[in-house]
Amino acid sequence: MKKNSNGYTGLFIPGPTNIPDRVRQAMNVPMQDMRAPDFGELTLPLFADVKKVMRTTDAEVFMFPASGTGGWESCVSNLFSAGERVLISSFGQFSMLWVDMLERFGLDVEHCEVEWGLGVPHEDYRRILEADRDHKIRGVFACHNETATGVTSNISEIRAILDDLGHPALLCVDGISSLGCIDFRMDEWGVDVVVGGSQKGFMLPTGLAIVGVSQRALERRATANLPRTFLSFDDMMKANATGHFPYTPATQMFHGLRASLDMIFEEGLDNVVARHNRLASAVRAGVHAWGLNLCAKDPSLFSDTVSAIVVPEHVDGAEVLKNAYYRYNLSLGSGLTKVAGKVFRIGHLGDLNEIMVLQALAGSEMALRDSGANIELGSGVAAAQAMFIAENQQSIKKAA
């Protein structure tokens, strides 16, 4: 099959996300000298503004020319030592990959394997941390938003457990598909490390790992013995003090980040979070109208950035993706490893509005039907439309 080349391809994968024209154009600038004395005029405000997105005043921000995975690696290699005990859970492809990284670095990993569709197992975390009376566990890891299953976990609950037990482990969070989309409060939740990536909520190309590290966590650098060079926090901090970098930074990305942060603050971070919730609710209303279920097992876990939709038993999720892509110019997210063929995903994060959601639902309906699912055409679209209209009427009433 050949893809139809007219118009835009609808991009509804949970990263990379759509890049606003304003951000794309902001990156179209001549190359500049990254050692120029005034380079910090571009970069220093970025560090300050990224902190606002993480909702922290305490943390140090790092920006590495890497994807989000590089951000994970910077957390592990700068703050931990080989053989050190850490606690983590997996319930999807991304949390699983973080477990794999910890093991490859030779950490002593206590791994809670959780059914895909659930989130961080708070009760298990409490039990394991409570039993760890001599505080051998040095880090507690959690994936805030598991992008493979569309599950958002409660991070403040983990902080509450640590505080309750007086446990000093560092709380390290994967916020790659939540930062700038789903409510995230680094200081309030006592998060020690949060890892973000440029190509999700920041609406940029892939290429910046954006990491927040608490002052308490930074103290670990002195004793952590894993080797690090490219991702060294020390080297970064020395150069970043004047807004410079220890090696050639991705300057165009900084111009893009300037524009994307401006857009986020012009809309208002709270409004951005509310918009993601509104659009995600409409997607969920559509899925419900189709008579299908989400991979996420409980409404309290539903993600506002990505929905993983379980296809009917006789339908192949890969077929849905193929039909959407070739017939309707629509990129949907695939089911990864354990849920391959069983789910397809709609990414609804970043630069997104109501009509785009309807586009994703309309295309999904057709692709589902093409793949043999008994979906009533228009049912999901109509449910989302009804929700948008009802919300508009409510806000008109409120304004009056």
Ligand X SMILES: *Cc1c(COP(=O)(O)O)cnc(C)c1O
Interface contacts to ligand X, rule CB under 6 A:
15, 67-69, 94, 143, 145, 147, 174, 176-177, 197, 206
Distances (CA, A) of 73 to 59, 142, 198, 330: 18, 15, 16, 33
Minimum distance of ligand X from residue 333's CB (angstroms):
10
Q: Which of 351, 387, 371 is nearest to 309 (CA)?
A: 371
Minimum distance of ligand X from residue 231's CB (angstroms):
13
Nearer to ligand X, 146 or 319 (CB): 146
Residue 31 φ/ψ, nearest 5 degrees: -65, 150
Distances (CA, A) of 376 to 215, 343, 370: 54, 19, 12
Nearer to ligand X, 176 or 357 (CB): 176
Nearer to ligand X, 206 or 252 (CB): 206
Nearer to ligand X, 177 or 323 (CB): 177
Minimum distance of ligand X from residue 186's CB (angstroms):
16
Q: What are the tokens at 393?
A: 């009427």
Nearer to ligand X, 249 or 333 (CB): 333
Which residue's Cβ has the minimum distance to ligand X?
68
Strand boundaries in the chain, DSSP class E = 10-12, 60-64, 85-90, 108-113, 137-143, 145-146, 151-152, 170-174, 193-197, 209-213, 293-294, 306-310, 330-332, 343-347
Please, which residues bridge with residue 209 across strands? Answer: 64, 197
Q: Which of 185, 180, 217 is nearest to 197 (CA)?
A: 180
Minimum distance of ligand X from residue 188's CB (angstroms):
21
Minimum distance of ligand X from residue 327's CB (angstroms):
27
Nearer to ligand X, 197 or 256 (CB): 197
The type of residue at 103 is E
Minimum distance of ligand X from residue 236's CB (angstroms):
18
Nearer to ligand X, 56 or 67 (CB): 67
Minimum distance of ligand X from residue 362's CB (angstroms):
25
Minimum distance of ligand X from residue 100's CB (angstroms):
12
Minimum distance of ligand X from residue 388's CB (angstroms):
26
Whether residue 332 contacts residue 174, with contact meaning beta carbons closer than 8 Å, is answered with no
Distance between CA atoms of residues 50 and 265, nearest Å: 11
Nearer to ligand X, 155 or 362 (CB): 155
Minimum distance of ligand X from residue 115's CB (angstroms):
18
Distance between CA atoms of residues 375 and 290, nearest Å: 6
Q: How buried is residue 384: exposed, middle or buried, by Cβ count under 10 Å (0-12/13-18/19+)?
A: buried
Nearer to ligand X, 78 or 153 (CB): 153
Query: Is beta strand 209-213 parallel, antiparallel or unpaired with respect to 193-197?
Result: antiparallel
Nearer to ligand X, 174 or 192 (CB): 174
Distance between CA atoms of residues 121 and 168, nearest Å: 19
Distance between CA atoms of residues 257 and 333, nearest Å: 25
Distance between CA atoms of residues 275 and 350, nearest Å: 10
Strands of the sheet containing 85-90, edge to edge, are 60-64, 209-213, 193-197, 170-174, 137-143, 85-90, 108-113
